[in-house]
Amino acid sequence: MKNKSLLMAIIAFMLVTFGYAQVPAIDMVHVQGGEFMMGCTDKHSDCSVNEAPAHPVKLSGYYIAKYEVTQALWVAVMGGKNPSKVIGDSLPITGVSWYDAQTFIGKLNQLTGKKYRLPTEAEWEFAARGGNLSHNYKFSGSNTLEDVAWCNNNSGNKPHVVGTKQPNELGIYDMTGNVYEWCNDGYDNYEWNSTTTLENPTGYNLSETKVYRGGCMTSYWDVCRVSARAQSIPNRQFNYVGFRLAMDEDPE
């Protein structure tokens, strides 16, 4: 009995000291593996050149966060440092570079013992399209932008509390609008044979730039489409870019 009490005391000390008990819950959505056409398809119009050619992609199952990483989660993991311009616990974190996101994920994994990561660009687009439940909407969950997005038309040019617009077919929020989201991939143009199926692509790892997706609170409809792409060098910090988490289906 005495040994059990001592063990519980040690566990409690570790939880407080290393922050396990302080990390807010992270809601993850399971995305069943499947195949889809990535990029600008005949269902969309006015696509940019970097969205073509559309090409078949096959993905294994994975998990992706229901919400963008919030400032409350960021502060809990990073020890109180908040780089966002507009402050609020339930607002998405902004002002973070791709490298900052990776630092956060490393600390989060140490605190939780899990293996979170950024989604690949293909995983991000598949989830934004609704996965195997997709209705082929132009935006993530609707053909009407304002239903699912805080954007140029309705945001007042500032981020909003996550999860306050309609979710998409998988129950994921804000994949269109609010803030752009970093992906893990290095950026490259689509130059593959459009008839060759790519399995779990990870982008061009030697690229000097990284992909971010989804549009933001100041975006117009054209860059909010599920196939729209953006890029930047990974050390840049923007007041309109954040990220969401992903995880392998069976992390080892």
The fraction of the chain above a pLDDT of 70, given in percent, is 89
| Tokens matching residue 32 | 């069943």
Residue 244 reports pLDDT greater than 50 = yes
Q: How many CA atoms lie within 13 A of 111 on its CB side?
A: 24
> pLDDT, tens digit, for every residue of 52-62?
999 999 999 99
Summarised one tens digit per residue, pLDDT across range 78-108 is 997 899 999 999 999 999 999 999 999 999 9
Q: Where are the domains of the chain?
A: 28-248
Taking each helix axis from N to C terminus, what angle separates 98-112 and 71-78, rounded to the nearest 10 degrees?
A: 70
Q: pLDDT tens digit string along 106-163?
A: 999 999 999 999 999 999 999 999 999 999 999 999 999 999 999 999 999 999 999 9
Q: Is the pLDDT of residue 219 over 90?
A: yes
* 70: DSSP letter: B
Pairing label, strands 55-59, 210-213: unpaired
Is the peptide bond prior to 167 cis by the omega test (within 30 degrees of 0)? no
CA of residue 60 relative to chain centroid, distance: 17
3-state DSSP call for residue 37? strand
List, for residues 170-198, the tens digit of each pLDDT value.
999 999 999 999 999 999 998 766 778 99
Measured CA to CA in angstroms, residue 185 lies from 104, 119, 188, 208 at distances of: 17, 8, 9, 10
Q: What is the CATH number of domain 28-248?
A: 3.90.1580.10
Residues 6+ apart with CB under 8 A from 78: 104, 107
Residue type, 70: T
